[in-house]
Chains A and B, each alone.
Chain A
Amino acid sequence: MRLCVAAALAAAVAGCAAIATQDAARGPSPEEVKAVLQSSFQAKGQAKLDRLDQDEVQRLCSTVRPGHALAPEAAHRIEAAQMAAIRYPQGSLVGDWKSGEKIAQQGTGKQYSDNPAQPSGGNCYACHQLDTAEVAYGNMGPSLHRFGATRGYTAEMQKYVYAKVYDSDAFSACSNMPRFGHMGILTEQQIKDVVALLMDPKSPVNQ
């Protein structure tokens, strides 16, 4: 049974939060969660309400709790599907590392406070060490210092880097790393520039 929780004296809530009567042991259903979110968010700037819609990856990965992982079949299914959706550039996968460094430093893009006409950044330093000259780096992800120097400047490694930046979930379902290509955060050229940052022998990352 669905109860419409209407605000009485307090500020009116747009629509009804469909919090059904439920026994304490069972949490809310995905539909109930979605309904609460729809009634709690409003479109602003470039962020419309469709950002609350989840794709298969987000839906499944939202069920993962600390200390647990997705069931292996589900994880492999996600990884295969994401891998199949990767679009590689024609010709070279390696762009310009100087542009790549700027992309790695820039943290804006896709927020409702951002200008949609401006390119997004990758914000790589939020989570990774890259050029050691930058001391303000995060540790959400592994250090990428000397990435190409360590793994070899090969075509296979270039392709791996391109794919990993394009869609990290193709390799590790429910990765914390955004899917920069799949979700249209970075352009093809931008991803090539990030590949160069990691894979150009002259890049500061490889010194």
Chain B
Amino acid sequence: MKAVHGIAAAVAAGIALAAGLAPAEEKSPALQEIEKYRAALAEGNPGELWEARGEAIWKEKRGPRNVSLEACDLGLGPGVVKGAYTVLPRYFADTDKVEDLESRLVTCMVALQGFTPEQAKKDPFANPGQKVPMDALVAYIASESQGMPMHVSLAHPKERQAYEMGKEIFFYRGASHDFGCVTCHGASGKRIRLQDLPNLTDPADARRAYTTWPAYRVSQGEVRSMQWRLNDCFRQQRFPELEFVSPASIALSMYLAKSAEGGVMNAPALKR
């Protein structure tokens, strides 16, 4: 993981940036300093650079068919980007599946641009110094839902199934440390080290947490998406690797998105 250097490095590695939660206890001096750090970082979100790059990629003719993504249906009709993040994941008739944003982008890269699924899914999470299209596209599309409330549908039976499956996975305890998502995200007012943890079973915390992804992670120097967040959680839970746009990842996203019902999108956000 890249060490944070420069002005931001004035904050020691042990101090972390909370997701905007108010801890239940009296704030320690360390936590007060974190709030000052967060306030100082509040403007100048490098995520905007990803938004600009993502918009360019959305409009760029790419792939064997040399076509842009502008006819891609993200859930509100072909080419409609504004508001699309608030209705994902959702059921799509053309693939007969529930899809989140990233799996839908893969679908469109294959169907419209002629990429193979392997090409479309390659390098979804940028390595140090690497530029990949996926996180820029996610940043752009999420930014076009800023200020709008989350409202995913559970009307279709497969949407309901995805939600219920995601919920079971959330509570699934396993691997060497007996961790499930619930272990860290099942109670209020908790933190690991100095990182506040949202209680994702509480609607208010769930709304606050979900609407700040994707985010520019200062410690990563990259924009990271919900697919990345889930992948990295499972790594730390000592599970094997969660595959990109796998059924479990989409089911979990569905559960989290529905739990965040009504939350106002504010992505890409800025996190430690």
Tell me the A residues contacting B by CB distance below 8 Å: 5, 7-13, 17, 19, 22, 24, 27-28, 32-33, 36-37, 39-44, 47-49, 51-54, 57-58, 61-66, 110-113, 125-127, 135-140, 169, 176, 178-179, 183-185
B56 lies within 8 A of chain A by Cβ = no
Q: How large is the interface on B (under 10, 10 to 19, 20 to 34, 35 or more residues)?
A: 35 or more
Give the complex CA separation of A41 and B117 in angstroms: 17
Question: Does A136 lie within 8 Å of B193, measured CB to CB?
Answer: yes
Question: Does B249 lie within 8 Å of A40, measured CB to CB?
Answer: yes
Question: Does B111 lie within 8 Å of A9, measured CB to CB?
Answer: yes
User: Given A10-B97, A51-B174, 17 other A-B contacts at CB below 8 A?
Assistant: A11-B103, A19-B161, A33-B169, A36-B251, A41-B243, A43-B241, A54-B174, A110-B238, A135-B28, A137-B193, A137-B194, A138-B190, A138-B191, A138-B194, A140-B184, A169-B178, A178-B178
Known: A12-B117, A41-B243, A135-B30. A58 touches B238 (CB 8 A): no
Give the complex CA separation of A24 and B167 in angstroms: 14
B133 lies within 8 A of chain A by Cβ = no
Q: Report chain B residues within 8 Å CB of A41.
A: 234, 239-243, 246, 248
Question: Does A110 lie within 8 Å of B176, measured CB to CB?
Answer: yes
B201 lies within 8 A of chain A by Cβ = yes
**What DSSP secondary structure best describes chain B's contact surface?**
mixed
Q: Report chain A residues within 8 Å CB of B240.
A: 41-44, 47-49, 51-52, 112
Query: Given A9, A28, A185, which contacts B110 in the complex, CB threshold below 8 Å?
Result: A9
Q: Report chain B residues within 8 Å CB of A7.
A: 95, 97
Question: Does A10 lie within 8 Å of B175, measured CB to CB?
Answer: no
Give the complex CA separation of A28 and B164 in angstroms: 7
B40 lies within 8 A of chain A by Cβ = no
Q: What's the nearest-Cβ distance from chain B to residue A202, in Å?
A: 25
B66 lies within 8 A of chain A by Cβ = no
Q: What's the nearest-Cβ distance from chain B to residue A32, in Å?
A: 7
Q: Report chain A residues within 8 Å CB of B190.
A: 138-140
Q: Report chain A residues within 8 Å CB of B184.
A: 140
Give the complex CA separation of A10 and B112 in angstroms: 11
For residues 88 through 125 of chain B, which have their beta carbon under 8 Å from a beta carbon of chain A?
Answer: 94-97, 99, 103, 106-107, 110-111, 117-118, 120-121
